[in-house]
Amino acid sequence: MTTLYLLRHGETVDNTAHILQGQTDGRLTAAGIAQVEAAARAIAAMSDDLRPERIISSDQGRCRHTAQIVASHLPLPITYDPLLRERDWGSLTGHPIAEAQALHGQFPPDVETTAQMSARTLQFMRWATATYPEARLLIVTHGLYARCLQATYRRLPIGDIARMANAECRRLDIDSALLPSTVKSEESGAAAN
């Protein structure tokens, strides 16, 4: 079993403005940095048998910054992986979240579908369990991506997975034998973290 600690990046300027960041870098606010510092201290205080052994982070700026803050408290190697990027909002990137929600899943064709995002999460889980069996990994990623990963593994709609606060950390134990063979396509509850 591979244990994933899913850590959402700290608050960003666009989070405070309710803007779809998608695959832009974003920039942590002072509050976001403080959130990550607190999360990093909590992770570093875990017992040796629970504490993560490696950090794998989205390569987007807001996650890179989050991972570097954590690594300053918990000196672990960091691997950056584009599979952990947030949903690509295409032409909706930079627009208000409310605008995407008003579309009720009828997004422009350049927006990454939830099926495509779920396929990325499944690809990541297969890689992580094959590369790091029995390991404890801190996954620094994005709110919607982390929810999609949980939903894919549990075979649930994304809307059934609670939204994540900035710098929130959730544990997910992955049994490679229980990974789904395919992914479902649904847009309900996937318009933002």
pLDDT, block means (10 residues), the chain with 193 residues: 97 95 95 98 95 97 98 95 96 93 91 93 96 96 96 92 97 90 62 58
Catalytic residue among 9, 112, 142, 187: 9
| SS3 state at 5 | strand
186 included as an active-site residue: no
State the pLDDT at residue 187.
Answer: 52
What pLDDT does 184 receive?
Answer: 65
pLDDT at position 65 is 98
Identify whether 37 is a catalytic site residue: no
The yes or no reply on domain 2-178 and CATH 3.40.50.1240 is yes
Q: Which residue has the tokens 């009720």?
A: 104
Would you say 147 and 193 are in contact if contact means Cβ atoms under 8 Å apart? yes
Residue 166 token pair: 């900035």
In terms of DSSP H, where are the helices of 1-95? 13-17, 30-44, 61-73
**Three-state secondary structure call for residue 28:** strand
Q: Which of 172, 179, 181 is nearest to 139 (CA)?
A: 172
Which entry of 11, 86, 112, 187 is annotated as an active-site residue?
Answer: 86
In the prediction, which pLDDT does 173 show? 96
CB 100 within 8 A of CB 186: no
